[in-house]
Structure 1
Amino acid sequence: MKLSILIPTDFSNNAKSAINYAIKLYQEQECTFYLLHAWSVKTNNRTYITSNFVDTSKEEAKIKLKDFKNNIESLNANKKHTFKTIFSTNKLIDAINCNLKDFSIDQLFMGTKGVTKAKEQWFGSNTVNTIKKINQCPIIVVPDEYNFKPLKQIAFATDYNRHFGDELITIKAFVKLYDSKLQVVHVCKKNTLTDNQNHNLTMLQANLSDIPHNFNWMTDELKKTEEITNFIKLQDIDALILINYNHGFIENLINEPVIKNVVSYPDVPLLILPYKD
């Protein structure tokens, strides 16, 4: 099966990190990579902008996108990979939404700059908005300058409060890419589960029977983000899977101020799966 992958780019280093990771992750898979640039005119505090200035700026961005693609192609000799460009004058979220449908996108890759001092958040504003507003396909968030390594250990954080659906298909496909081991992580203050949690755990155990996996229970002595980050470091985890529930772990991750304790946040690629009740 050929994958269709959408990667927004503003030509920054963190966008390149996302592209490089996607290329290496799927080096054995047939893929079409759509490089999306959502263009808007940069005013530089001008009080009056001529149509000539706008047209010139737009053409320069189109050339830059073409050169960007050519440069990636020149560095990637994989015949299984095809690269195409998408130039849009819509806002980023609108451009993503439109092209997810038009090109039947399977996955969306985003780069993140890490902590931004202005926002005091782990993700940049574009990544935050995308995670909040896009739920049609999995999103893979790649830390800036992250060096790819084969996925040997993948963590999946869950509280067992909701039933598992189609997202398990994506999790298992991701695990099978590199014959990884899935480490299911549950962080909780209590040492017992409710009847609903036990039911969901039993269902998960049955569904994971055909892949290598472990179940891990961690006490909630610290913030969940800190507990999971400690687990990632301890187990040498290569990627973290999260399901994008409302009022769940991801909301805490993207909204909490983190400047004071940067080391307590995951620094591995995140696979964020949409949840449809």
Structure 2
Amino acid sequence: MRNILIPTDFSENAMNAVSYALELFKYEKCNFYLMHAYQDAIYQETIDVTRDNLHDVTTQVAQRSAEQLELILKEINDISPNPQHTYITVSSNNILIDESDKIVDEKNIDLIVMGTKGKSNDKKITFGSQTLQVLKYVKCPVLAIPENQTYSQPKHVLFPTNYLIPYKRRELKLFCDMIAPYRSVVDVVYISKSSKLSIRQEDNQRFMKEALCKNEVNFKTIDSKDVVTAIEAYVANHPIDMLVMVNTRESFLESFLYPSRVDQLSLKLNVPFFAMQNIKRDA
């Protein structure tokens, strides 16, 4: 049974992520946790919030949150009834990061699915602030869905790597199982000025070959020092349906997600983005 957390702010982007997840996992038995953390909304509700009326405002926001989650459930049952899927709604007076961490730990969540942006939908950025926080701080793989993304089966997946990190078996298995029903082809691309691998890199590459055995995997090398440009060019020149990266020390994704690089990020995602966190979890 797959456990999937879908945070929502009730935006079109968030609902689009829900729709994508339902299609992607339509062949699997899944528990979907539809979660809205509304603490920030309480203080954004009105400039007139005081200690005297805080309880009343909180009650109103909580009620609205629960009602909107029920509307999402109704929409899901209308557009994608699936006897293999179970839905649990979570409405919480908490902030997104803390509530996500709590549910991930308590429910042994396999994957978080959310939009790359929420209600703000700023066209100048790749990730909205909430999605960026989840990618950086929540210890769970994340599948981020771009706005207006129309579902298509992940037939061709790009997995750039520097082979410097020992991948976690659980996370590679999740990735493999997620795309296996679609007979996906995975392009594992090593981006470097040197094609020679160290012993450490060779060992990590060998582990990837074993872990991704359910899929057709092409191991390639691109001669480049500019990782972002190389990935953008590859996505532009190949029919890529999903981009996969790993967020950990010494990885490509780490340099994209930290503040020194976020404002300069030129990678404009127009395909679903799967970020493995490479952290220790129960097997």
TM-score (norm 1): 0.88
Q: Distance in 1 between matches of 2:174 and 2:189?
A: 17
Q: How many residues align?
A: 271
Q: 1:120 to 1:147 in 2, by over 3 A?
A: closer
**1:146 counterpart SS class:** coil
Answer with 163-172 or 142-151: which moved more.
163-172
Q: 1:247 to 1:45 in 2, by over 3 A?
A: farther
Provide the residue aligned with 1:129 in structure 2. 133
The alpha carbon displacement at 1:146 in A equals 0.5
Identity of aligned residues (%): 27
Aligned-residue CA RMSD (Å) = 2.4
**2:182 counterpart SS class:** coil
Amino acid at match of 2:126: W
List per-residue Cα deviations over 1:115-150 (Å, max 9, x = no partner).
x79795410111111111112x32111111101111
Q: Distance in 1 between matches of 2:232 and 2:217?
A: 19
Q: 1:27 to 1:60 in 2, by over 3 A?
A: same
Provide the residue aligned with 1:173 in structure 2. 177
What does 1:207-246 align with in structure 2 at a 5 Å threshold?
207-220=211-224, 223-246=226-249
Q: Is the 8 A contact 1:7 1:35 kept in 2?
A: yes
- Determine which of 56, 68, 71 is the counterpart of 1:52: 56
The question of 1:19 aligning with 2:18 is answered yes
Provide the residue aligned with 1:155 in structure 2. 158
Q: Distance in 1 between matches of 2:246 and 2:144?
A: 13
Q: Is the 8 A contact 2:112 2:141 kept in 1?
A: yes
The alpha carbon displacement at 1:176 in A equals 1.0
**1:177 counterpart SS class:** helix
Q: Distance in 2 between matches of 1:104 and 1:156?
A: 25
Amino acid at match of 1:45: I
Provide the residue aligned with 2:252 in structure 1. 249
List per-residue Cα deviations over 1:91-126 (Å, max 9, x = no partner).
111111111122222211111129x79795410111
TM-score (norm 2): 0.86
What does 1:136-147 align with in structure 2 at a 5 Å threshold?
137-147=140-150
Unaligned runs of 5+ in 2: none
